[in-house]
Each structure stands twice: as C-alpha cells, then as structure tokens.
Chain A
C-alpha cells in the first residue's frame, strides 16, 4: 500500500528532472513506479489533483500585471456570477470567500493575469459587460511586489518524519 501523505509530500516539491521521475519518487517513498503512477491517476480522477504539469511563474514570462478583483454580491446571486466570471480564459481563479464586516464587504474573488494593467482592465470591462454586473460594487487590487511564490506545502517534512 502506498502512503498517500508521503506521495503528496514528494509531489508538492515537483517531479525530478530525470528519465524515470516516478520511479525516483517511488524510491524515495518506498513504493513502486507503477503504484505511484496509478495513485496519481486515481487522485486526478477523484479531483484531488487539479492538474499535473509545468507550473510557470507568470511574471517571468511577461505577464507582469495581476489583479485580484473582489465583488460584493448578494448571497443568492453569487453562484451564478462566480460561474459567469469563471468562464473567461484570463480569469484563473473564481472563489467565494466570507465577508468580514465592516472591514471587508466582498465575497467573490477573481484573479486576472495580464501583460499590463490596460490588458487587465480591458478584460475586466468585458467581464462586467458580459455578466451584467454594472451595478455591483467591486474593487481591483493590482499586485505590486511579490515577496514569495512557490507551490503549496501542505505536509511539512518534520511531521512526516514523526509519523513515519
């Protein structure tokens, strides 16, 4: 039996750049290549893994503008509009999150990546027109400095050693 926690810990650091990366991971977690491949396939089917592949740093590729657009949407409308915003190619995330009144009235968050601010704002206008949200309050939070960006670490190595 494969240890899923160990597999996730190995995958969150990324696949090694060697001819047989799954075999290499199997060696690290005391499993077999076939078990590792099968388990990843199962996690993909179950939706636990959203995608497998190259994770790029958009800023390094000229996508220097990135805005988090937040909306204050009536609770009964948020599902419909969350899905409407999510259909655009340039919207990479569309999430509902809790309000924190009075400081934070916004409950729907979209991430828009673009090559410059103008690009992002043009796309935002397209979303507003297409989803008919001209009347809804929103705020655009452009990113400035990036202090840290890397893959999520859900399982730290210390706790693995403790449980191993």
Chain B
C-alpha cells in the first residue's frame, strides 16, 4: 500500500499548487531536523521553499492524511523522558494476528511489527516509570499466555530516524526490479 513516488507526484500536481516531487523530497529532508523554533514556523519554512504558508500547510495536511507523515513533533531521547523497552514474543503462526491485535490495543505500544524469526512479534512499550512498564508487560503476558522477552536499551550509539530520503531514485529502482 506504499504510495509510490509517481503517485506522490500526481498527488502533488492534483493539488494545483505546482508542487513537484522534488519539493516534497526537499521539504521532508530539510525539515526532518531543525524545524524552526519561531512564532510562525510554517511561514518560515514556506519562505525557504518559495511557496506560501497556506500552500505548505495544505500540503502537510495532505501528506498527513495520506499517512506519509506520521506527525510533526519532537523525538525524545529514549529513557530520558519516561522508560521504554523493546519486547519480543514467539507467537504460534495461527495466533499471530489475534495476539498482535491484543498488543496493539495498548496505548503504551507505539511500534508493533512482525519479523522473520522464531521471535516473530516485536513491539516497543513506553511508560512513565519502571513499575508501570513492568505492570503493563505482566498484564500482556497474562492476557496472551505468551512469555515476553524484554530487552531495554542499555546504551545508544546512534539514533537518527531522520535519514536522507531518496524518493526519485527510489522510483527508478523499483521499476528496474519489477522487470
């Protein structure tokens, strides 16, 4: 269900704003970091991009509703604000969707993925403090009957979820692979 760069391009031009795919890439790359801390951050961004504030806001809303953008906000350093852990479960294949739904229903869970391994369900649990976190993990084990492997971060060597995006090359590569 990924929005292909080509569709993104179409989306951009449908909006009648002459916003090109290059502009979307530029917006995403430039403002994954260093979002302006001014009274009017969107107007400042728009100025840098050479479009109007209203055009930018409309585009961001569009990207948000099509789920390309998850949000515009702060990424907190793990375990500085609250606590979190990476949890894993080895779920029998026939129960996977049911168990995944139970886990996703917890507001404390933000990522929940199936991965290719004997431990096939991986999710991140966050809470305000350790006791709350342990309580949630215990509750999950009781609800599912499956033991949780809890792997809290001990040290971070690198965190940067804002890596440079290559939307244009991505489109080319996809086509090549499909042939």
Contact = CB atoms under 8 A, between A and B. Distances in A.
Contacts, number: 279
Contacts of B94: none
Contacts of B31: 53-54
A154 B114 contact: no
A148 B72 contact: no
Nearest 6 A/B pairs, CB to CB: A86-B158, A14-B71, A154-B82, A82-B157, A148-B112, A14-B73
A28 interface: no
Given A48-B76, A61-B68, A115 B173 contact: yes
A100 interface: yes
A60 B113 contact: no
B170 A61 contact: yes
A141 B113 CA distance: 11
Given A17-B42, A64-B2, A145-B113, A89 B74 contact: no
A60 B66 contact: yes
Given A8-B81, A55-B70, A19 B42 contact: yes
A21 B82 CA distance: 24
Contacts of B159: 50, 92-95
B40 A151 contact: no
Contact of A87 (B4, B158, B173): B158
A54 B126 contact: no
Count class of interface residues, chain A: 35 or more
Contacts of A8: 74, 76, 81
A89 B163 contact: yes
A148 B104 contact: yes
A12 interface: yes
Contacts of B53: 19
A83 interface: yes
Nearest to A141: B115
A48 B69 contact: no
B28 A56 contact: yes
A61 B167 contact: yes
B158 A93 contact: yes
Nearest to A10: B73
Given A17-B64, A141-B115, A147-B114, A113 B163 contact: yes
A144 interface: yes
Interface in A15-50: 15, 17-23, 33, 37, 40-41, 43, 47-50
